[in-house]
Chain A
């Protein structure tokens, strides 16, 4: 007997197979990386190369939820659109009722509770997305949260989701240094270096967004990313030279 038809049913050994299959769908999505610095939060996504006739601007994987929160996702784009719409409405609803912008934790909790509800009702399948939600609370604290299809969420200093997430996460664990995060450029470079590990053809396939406290979301354009990539390559060469010397 298979226990993955109606998702409200547990398997004998305690699995919710539909949720686990949703996590497989996430692993097929393009990589997203998030890093939380001291005064900056950075999200980078792997841009899939678009067909020749396709308008590149219609493919945006980094979405603003409000002035102080934005997110990237990995998995089914259509599912993400629904979640993002609901989250945007909730951000405004919160502003209306509480007269304050949402905290990042609040909107993450809201998104997670939507996802969880869809794992516990018949006739509906879970959302096939994991998301990285970053932003600043109104007291200036930077935050990074990750949600997954089961509806759980955790806070992270740096994380990756999607294809090759494991490789990127190991890279981040090796290279994330608390002191470096004081510098905004170091945080941005860490995201780019992490993405370059898994992205095919370099800076052309990277999309990057940064936010500083009380400043609007800034999506970096190609030239700026190129500059950082050149810096990183220079640093790599110097590190190689150092190694050869010693």
Chain B
């Protein structure tokens, strides 16, 4: 509209859709998969990424206040001949304070899709529930379940719009679709990778050590359960930010099952007995 142009208002109206009425006919609609604009209103003139940068980048932050956006947890997932194993710890930490020992770090999106969470608990829970909503809408619109590739792409696209604004989320999307078992790692920068084995969180290096030394594609199901559980357990032993219990899921062709929830203390004594 001419008046809007004269007042040079177009810069800060941007993509909130309240500008020219003609735009509504061509506006982004439900076919443009979640690549839409901001979920949250940002006041004009404020750039969240710029605001956050000094707190994260320099050694002391701003006047001694530094925000550490680490992923304090251990989660892992690997593909093998009988599907996908998913194992996570259950400790929630706020700095050096343990705020919970039995939090649920796996979101059950649908009977064929799981998402793990590491990083900021709120970010993970919120965005993965948004993903669950999008997956459900996809199923209703297209009369078939969403593929693992598409689901992970949706999540990656959703958070990529908030890059630099302080989201903290490292997740693995695991599922079984008509291309077979699927495993994708997605994080808050929008990174999205497909692979056979991933581990995220502060305890991931310990978990990788155990997984890498015991992993074969042709593991049997009990061997895979043992490997996944052991990897997370050893990570909880060494990493201060991981602990509580080991939650394990097995993604099969006809859906996932929750294998076990093993308290880390019990696992410690069980493995110690085996050594003797």
Give me the interface of A with B, judged by CB distance under 8 Å: 90, 93-94, 97-100, 103, 106, 110, 113, 117-118, 121, 123-124
Contacts and interface: CB of A to CB of B under 8 A. Distances in A.
Contact of A97 (B24, B25, B142, B150): B150
A98 B31 contact: no
Contact of A113 (B22, B31, B154): B31
B147 A99 contact: yes
B150 A98 contact: yes
B67 interface: no
A83 to B, nearest CB: 13
A90 B147 contact: no
A90 B25 contact: no
Nearest to A110: B31
B153 A123 contact: no
Nearest to A106: B142
B213 interface: no
Contacts of A90: 31
Contact of A98 (B22, B24, B153): B153
Contacts of B157: 97
Contacts of B58: none
Nearest to A120: B25
Interface string B133-169: 0000000001000110110011001000000000000
Contacts of B146: 98
A97 B153 contact: yes
Contacts of A103: 142
Given A106-B142, A121-B24, A97 B29 contact: no
Contacts of A124: 25
B51 interface: no
Given A100-B147, A100-B150, A121-B24, A113 B35 contact: no
Contacts of A94: 33
B24 A93 contact: no
B24 A99 contact: no
Contacts of B154: 97
A98 B147 contact: yes
Contacts of B22: 123
Nearest to B142: A106
A233 B216 CA distance: 66
A239 B157 CA distance: 62
Contacts of B147: 98-100
Given A118-B25, A124-B25, A93 B32 contact: yes
Residue picked from A100, A123, A124, most chain B C-beta under 10 Å: A100
Interface in B28-50: 29, 31-35
Given A93-B32, A121-B24, A99 B142 contact: no
Nearest to A122: B21
16 contacts: A93-B32, A93-B33, A97-B33, A97-B150, A97-B154, A97-B157, A98-B33, A98-B153, A100-B147, A100-B149, A100-B150, A110-B31, A113-B31, A121-B24, A121-B25, A124-B25
Given A97-B34, A98-B149, 12 more contacts: A90-B31, A97-B153, A98-B33, A98-B147, A98-B153, A99-B150, A100-B149, A117-B25, A117-B29, A118-B25, A121-B24, A121-B25
A97 B22 CA distance: 27
B29 A113 contact: yes
Residue with the greatest number of chain B CB neighbours at <10 A, chosen from A94, A99, A103: A99
Contacts of A98: 33, 146-147, 149-150, 153
A93 B33 CA distance: 9
A113 B27 CA distance: 13
B250 to A, nearest CB: 25
Contact of B35 (A97, A106, A121, A123): A97
Contacts of B24: 121
Nearest to A97: B33
| 4 A-B pairs closest in CB distance | A98-B150, A99-B149, A97-B33, A121-B25
Interface string B197-223: 000000000000000000000000000
A99 B31 contact: no
A192 B245 CA distance: 70
Nearest to A121: B25
Nearest to B24: A121
A39 to B, nearest CB: 21
A228 B114 CA distance: 55
A11 to B, nearest CB: 23
A118 B22 CA distance: 11
A90 B31 CA distance: 8
A77 to B, nearest CB: 21
Nearest to A117: B25
A99 B153 contact: yes
A106 B142 CA distance: 7
